[in-house]
Amino acid sequence: MKWWKFNEGAGDITKESAAGDSCAIAGHMSYWKQGVSGTALAFDGYHSVVRLPAEKAPAISDAVTLEAWVALGAYPWNWTPVVQQGHEESYALSIGPHGSVAMSVKAGGQLVKAESKPRLATKRWYHVAGSRITA
């Protein structure tokens, strides 16, 4: 399990809460805003990113749940990952150019993707989540 609170409120480092790993915030600048509870890290949709080395990312086998609190300032130009491991190699929770949410997981050598019909409005907080469970 990996979990970021983004509650530092300042600086260019954020701490992963489960293992305590410090992760650099890359991009033009770190921009902190008011969140659902405490502070939130604002991503610019182009350059902002928090990276965790691949060897520290959770490996999935049978089940995975990805979730986040998000508030869109504007719709992205293309599919934008909220959480992503690899590029269509493992798993992702993304937001599309019209505000839909999708989860993709590579399972058994095949990419499986589910997309929401409801669209997220801008400037409003949402809890988004996706799960893959196998029997």
8-35 confidence digits (pLDDT tens): 999 999 998 888 889 999 988 888 999 8
The per-residue pLDDT for 10 is 92
Whole-number average pLDDT of the chain? 87
Mean pLDDT score, 36-41: 90
The structure's pTM equals 0.86
Distance, in Å, from the CA atom of 122 to the CA atom of 126, rounded to the nearest integer, reads 10
Closest CA to 55 of 25, 6, 90: 90
pLDDT above 80: residue 117: yes
